[in-house]
Amino acid sequence: MYIQTRLINKTAISPKVCTSCNSEILIGQAYHREEGVKEHLHSLIARQFCSDCYAKYGELMLLSGRFDRK
């Protein structure tokens, strides 16, 4: 089942790890978190991306998973 999601610009209130590059997103840093356009996202693990990856790959690329995993 395909669930359409989008990325929301957030500020970290707790430390996170970028899904793409595994770098730490520190408290107070901006990041992008995946949110479901439809209601049941909590059954999935929301991906989260640092602002570097967002700038580098863009939303469509990140959501489709077509970025380089290192």
Give the binding site for Zn ion (CB under 5 A): 18, 20-21, 50, 53
| Least separation in angstroms between CB 32 and Zn ion | 9
Give CA angle at 52 (48, 58), nearest 5°.
70
CB of 62 to Zn ion, least distance (A): 9
Query: 23 vs 35, which CB is nearer to Zn ion?
Result: 23
Compute the distance between CA of residue 56 and CA of residue 2 in angstroms, rounded to an integer: 25
Q: Report, in Å, the least distance between residue 64 CB and Zn ion.
A: 16
* Cβ-Cβ contacts under 8 Å for 2 (sequence gap 6 or more): none
